[in-house]
A = this chain, B = another copy of it.
């Protein structure tokens, strides 16, 4: 017997995996944030914005697209980018192909700050994640997370 109001419940293996995932969703950003704030004065969400821009052609990206890939709302992204602009790390420009659109571009100073923060961040990522996994685990984790991103249309 199934109905729209009664989904198939999680079995024990699914429930265990799901509890672990939710705990990681809560704990991992907090742990990453702590190191970056302490060592680079930068919350993890800001680091991600700089890192994403640094990977783009011209180190620039449309704000709407940046909001989409970071899973944030336009207003929260605006706030973050304004704060990065105040530090001189990012500049906003009008979009040449869309008058209502804006482009965020990483500055040289922003690139230098990202490069300065990266070694400490990578060491922390290794300490928190990869030091605990075998090479096989890493391959499987990449495959499984790839499937999940497909499910999120990401």
Interface residues of A (CB under 8 A from B): 5-10, 13-14, 16-18, 20-31, 45, 48, 69-72, 119, 122-123, 125-133, 135, 137-152, 154
Contacts and interface: CB of A to CB of B under 8 A. Distances in A.
Q: Is the interface of A mostly helix, strand, loop or mixed?
A: helix
Given A13-B139, A144-B137, A8 B71 contact: no
A1 to B, nearest CB: 14
A10 B129 CA distance: 11
8 contacts: A7-B119, A13-B139, A13-B142, A17-B141, A25-B25, A25-B28, A131-B151, A132-B147
B16 A142 contact: yes
